[in-house]
Structure 1
Amino acid sequence: MRQNPSFTLAEVAEIRRIVDANPWATIVSHGPDGLVSSHYVVLLDDDHDDLTVVGHVGRPDDLIHGLGDGELLVVFQGPHGYISPGWYGDVPSVPTWNYTAVHLAGIPEILSDEENLAVLDRLVDRFEGRMPEPRRMWERPNDPAFVTRLATGTVGFRLTPTRVVAKRKLSQNKPAEIVETVIAELEAVGPYRQPALADEMRRAQQARVGGRS
């Protein structure tokens, strides 16, 4: 992802927020047969306060990716959407796309069976916990034999990135009044309504005014 100083996201806490809020990630590597990508849920590692993440792939994706043997790129995509030139007013302009994205790259560590089980357990808790009657991994009708058998079909990994590229292209290069107009259009009823993107734009605008990343 090409970086641009105007759109650089450098604050670790903000990058962690994007990763945590958008756990459905794209995993990319250069495997034995060339470039390959997969899609899995990836979470921040509870045992670290940096950008270390944990996740898993199903077998044989570990072999396809050569997991643990080379660099892995994990891509998180935040809110994004179309920006109409008509929202800029009567000035020369073209359409664009606003977005937030985080790229974490490094050589992953393969988790032990016990560590992988713990990550899978946490993964279920993270999403099932929001249900009115959660069905957690170790609860009936599941039994330990079923859970263990299921887990053996996965390979867990931990990635502490050695390269981080994070970017939020959210109209920071536009005057404040235009940014406010775009935010209002994204919140209004229409074909390109995207309130989550409007929230990210507002956050970026506040950071720009406050002099933060």
Structure 2
Amino acid sequence: MYDLPYHKEPSEQVIKEFIEQHPFAFLSGCDAANKPVATQVPIFMEERDGKKILSGHIMKNTDHHKAFLHNDQVLVVFTGNHTYVSGTWYSDPHTPSTWNYMSVHAHGTIRFLDGAALEEMLRKTSLHFENNNPHSPTVYDNLSKSFLDKYMKAIVAFEIEVSKLDNVFKLSQDRDEQSYHQIIEKLKDQDEDGRVIAAEMEKRAKDLYPDGLL
């Protein structure tokens, strides 16, 4: 991860909200042969006894499940909108282009849980993504016993105790004020990713340029 201070988000609340808004994360580690493995799953974060805990579930007997049983050190990457930024948008256009994006990296130790914890995780996950509608036929408590008996054996819940939480919110904070505002205006005419990044940049403009020369 690029470790540049001006590309860091200092607010823990902003980081927490970012994870909540982008729960479909990359869960990665290394297997017994030191080969990288990864999967993408919805992951939740909560505070418990002063610790940050990530939780979710995966299928058993996959390459990543076997790897995590062997090596419990994992990296979880939450990513958001991202967009190309042309150097031609700067006050000095003879500048390399770049990419603006937001990402949170969580390092930690994974452990697998028992059946009761899996039931609770599936209940939590299904309700969350069904907008907390307990009457939805797809939430855990409304699934048939025969279905659950068949498929619950194939998945396992996990928790990750976070040892390090890092982030990059690369939003042109290192550019001069003219360039910064020109980038915002250009991104407003781009696709959804560009417009989202432009909105994020606008939120930070007053803090970056308190004198408001433009």
Contact 2:32 2:71 in 1 (8 A): no
SS at match of 1:103: strand
Contact 1:82 1:98 in 2 (8 A): yes
Unaligned 5+ segments in structure 1 are none
Where does residue 144 of structure 2 map in the other structure? 143
Unaligned 5+ segments in structure 2 are none
Describe the shift of the 1:191–1:70 C-alpha distance in structure 2 as closer, same or farther (beyond 3 A). closer
Where does residue 23 of structure 1 map in the other structure? 23
> One-letter code of the match for 2:137?
R
Task: Pick from 119, 127, 130 the counterpart of residue 128 of structure 1.
Answer: 130
Contact 2:90 2:178 in 1 (8 A): no
Contact 2:82 2:193 in 1 (8 A): no
Task: Pick from 108, 119, 122 the counterpart of residue 121 of structure 2.
Answer: 119
SS at match of 1:3: coil
Contact 1:187 1:193 in 2 (8 A): no
Quick check: which one's strand share is greater? 2
In the TM superposition, residue 11 of structure 1 has moved relative to its aligned partner by 2.4
Distance in 1 (alpha carbons) for counterparts of 2:201 and 2:70: 37
Matches within 5 A, 1:185-196: 185-188=186-189, 190=190, 194-196=194-196
In the TM superposition, residue 53 of structure 1 has moved relative to its aligned partner by 1.4
Matches within 5 A, 1:201-212: 201-208=201-208
Task: Please state if 1:157 is matched with 2:174.
Answer: no
Task: Pick from 62, 68, 81 the counterpart of residue 66 of structure 1.
Answer: 68
| Identity, % of aligned positions | 21
In the TM superposition, residue 37 of structure 1 has moved relative to its aligned partner by 1.1
| TM-score w.r.t. length of structure 1 | 0.84
Distance in 1 (alpha carbons) for counterparts of 2:193 and 2:19: 23
Contact 2:68 2:110 in 1 (8 A): no
> One-letter code of the match for 2:78?
F
Question: How many residues of Structure 1 are paired with residues of Structure 2 in the alignment?
Answer: 207
User: Which shifted more, 82-91 or 157-166?
Assistant: 82-91
> One-letter code of the match for 1:21?
Q
The superposition leaves residues 99-158 of structure 1 with CA deviations (integer Å, 9 ceiling, x where unpaired) of: 111110111132221112111111111212288x83332455x21342343232111111
In the TM superposition, residue 49 of structure 1 has moved relative to its aligned partner by 7.7
Contact 1:10 1:166 in 2 (8 A): no
Describe the shift of the 1:93–1:192 C-alpha distance in structure 2 as closer, same or farther (beyond 3 A). farther
Describe the shift of the 1:208–1:52 C-alpha distance in structure 2 as closer, same or farther (beyond 3 A). farther
Distance in 2 (alpha carbons) for counterparts of 1:150 and 1:82: 42
Contact 1:185 1:193 in 2 (8 A): no
